[in-house]
Chains A and B, each alone.
Chain A
Amino acid sequence: MPENAPVWAIVVLPVALAVAAVVTAGFDAVLSGAAGRGHAGGIRRAGRRAATPVREALRLLVQQPRRTTAADRLLGRLGVVLVPVAAVLAGAVLPWGFRAVSDPSVGVVWFNAMEALAWAAVWLAGWGPNSALSLISGYRFLAQGLAYELPHMFALTTAALGAESLRVGDVVAAQEGVWFVVWMPVAFAAYLLSALAMAFWGPFAHPLARDAAGGAAAELAGVDRLVFLGGRWLLLVVTAGFSVPLFLGGGHGPLLPGWAWTLLKTAAVLALLVILRRALPVLRMERYMEAAWMVLVPLTLLQALFVAVVVLNR
């Protein structure tokens, strides 16, 4: 049965998430390198490419911060810091095997509330430097948020409905036999799409797109930039990782212990997202908006209806 992890898990959680984020970024860098400069050839060159994010982080640590005139530094900083903070707070309900740092009775809603902080965070980071392009990108993320939030909420609701509980531990326990992904494939797909959109990464990186000179991160340099972009990787890891307890059975699996299955499944989801990213162009949010509201919302609603009927007749 789900139980709370020991106190030291609070310290371990951000570290574990950061390690996962660095590994994911490294994998992405290897794929980027292979696409840009050809196959790595030796294991050493592949390793050098995988270390790119670490080198970039070290470079940012010593880079000069950039100052802009009449910047709202308080709000800008707040937005930058809020990205990793929201990711870690959302990660607090992530079960590691069968134990989470905290397993509140409304864990699913808590996760949703924490990732909603990203809305405020990206807009604030765009507003802070008093620069037109970064503010435009803040607005872009709000529009993207309006597009992804409804299908995302319906996907979360569907999983909670299947387990008849908002507690993440109960959702995992309900998947002891059949994983939710088997009978809620639409909700799973909608969840993965919104996870990408939430982390404004991959095909949903429009808020940080090149046509706006780097978007919300345009004026960020040095440690600010490191915290903001690192926070984005954390957000990606947490949102992708949360699909495991929601739809992929959490720690359930044969032979291996629960924590190993969680790790394996999270790695698989992240690898899938990183590989898929290369196949997809960056979406403009007005396009995703219409697709989300005209296609995804009805589909996820039908999915929720289907699950509700199944649960009622169980």
Chain B
Amino acid sequence: MSLELFLLLAAALFSIGLFGALAQQSVVMLMMGLELMLGGVIVGAAAVWHYIAPDAADGQVLVVLAVTVMAVEMAVGFAVVTALFRAREVDMTDMAAELKE
């Protein structure tokens, strides 16, 4: 185990999540991609804490931040989908594009 290995794992998770967030049409699937990306961020922050600065708690605070962002992202995401679905009966990003008109 080394810092590089952990960071590579984080990068892999981040990239897979990015693929999902970019390629998926459905808003809920897109959010799963975002969750995966944040999972990568968590691994990266924890690894940096362990291998670079374990005496400071800043890395841990970053993990707490990422976990909170995950929760907020999911809650707001589903609330928006619910509102969107009520208004338009759509759940896909492409169809929601007409909202800007």
CB–CB under 8 A between A and B in the complex? no
Chain A positions near chain B (C-beta within 8 angstroms): none
